[in-house]
Amino acid sequence: MEREFVYFCRHFRMLFLDIAPFWALGIFIGSAISVFAKERIYGLLSGMSGARLGALGVIPASLLGVASPLCMYGTIPIAASLSKKGMSDDWLAAFMMSSVLLNPQLMIYSAALGNTALAVRTISAFLCGAAAGLCVRYLCSGGTIFRFDGFEEPENRDTATNMAARFIKNILRNIRATGLWFLAGVALAALFMRLIPSAAIAELFGADNRFGVVMAATVGVPLYFCGGGTIPLLAEWLQRGMSLGAAAAFMITGPATKVTNLGALKIVLGAKNFCLYLLFVMLFAALTGLITDLFI
């Protein structure tokens, strides 16, 4: 037992030192965007309301969703406000979908997985948002998709007059919100490293297993607890034989079906559209994973 504990501590330390710099940099950049650029991002979104972009509007909406530093519970009130200003449901869907999947802070975390994995995650988040917007525009044109009743503008917690103080408080708030999850992810990855052989990961999620992508997409539903917490797991699985396509599928279904996100989306979408959302996410994740393994 003592030997196992020593091995666990060794793996934990190794993983922590490898990934902690990306976690810290992600918090720094995410807080900087939240404090200094958030209003600009939402100003650009608000300015789109009167634009005549048609279906092309899903492109900037999805891009701004990726750039948004807010979580789903912060994004929905913003979307409610934009809806009141006349923004169409397809643009809102693109913004909300990509915002669920990625934000600047998580993007920096994901750099720990390598440049290729980062590129796949960023591009797939943008395309998923754009695809969600197009589906709403052309397949769900009858009636209103979203129900924003009761959602008000989110409370702005960056209220300090001194910008440096506001920045530091935002950093501390992000550390409190993600720190324990990050440590839990490192600990879980260390346990996997010690207890599960590499051959098992390669057999389950490797490129040679045609169902690996589907399995990874399915596993992403219960295992995804926090973006920063899952990065150590993915880093370990990729090193032990998980295909990049399987990782891509996991990175889509995970945040899109995170329990806290689902609770908010169920309220906003209603039962029927909520089921369609889940179907869309699973299909897009599987397709993304298969295409990634085919070409990368």
d(CA 146, CA 90): 10
If you search the block for the tokens 């440096």, which residue do you land on?
164
Q: What share of the chain is helix, strand, coil (3-state, %, to 5)?
A: 80, 0, 20
According to the model, what pLDDT value does residue 227 have?
A: 64
If you search the block for the tokens 């399995």, which residue do you land on?
215
According to the model, what pLDDT value does residue 1 have?
A: 65
d(CA 9, CA 253): 31
Residues 279, 87 contacting (CB under 8 angstroms) = no
Q: Output the six-digit token pair for 94.
A: 């693109």
According to the model, what pLDDT value does residue 86 have?
A: 82
According to the model, what pLDDT value does residue 143 have?
A: 65
Closest by CA position to 64, among listed 151, 147, 125:
125
pTM: 0.88
According to the model, what pLDDT value does residue 290 have?
A: 93
Q: 201: which residues sit within 8 A by CB, 6+ positions away?
A: 237, 240, 241, 242
Could you give the C-alpha distances from 276 to 9, 23, 75, in angstroms and in order?
Answer: 44, 34, 20
* Degrees to nearest 5, angle at CA 259 with 209 and 239: 35
Distance of CA 291 to the CA centre of its chain: 20
Q: Output the six-digit token pair for 114.
A: 């390598």
pLDDT one-digit tens code per residue, 207-242: 777 788 988 888 777 666 666 678 888 888 898 889
According to the model, what pLDDT value does residue 121 have?
A: 96
Q: pLDDT means per 10 residues in the chain (296 residues)?
A: 77 87 91 85 79 88 90 78 86 93 92 95 97 92 74 59 84 87 85 75 78 83 68 88 92 86 84 92 94 90
Number of residues assigned to the chain: 296
Span between the terminal Cα atoms of the chain, in Å: 42
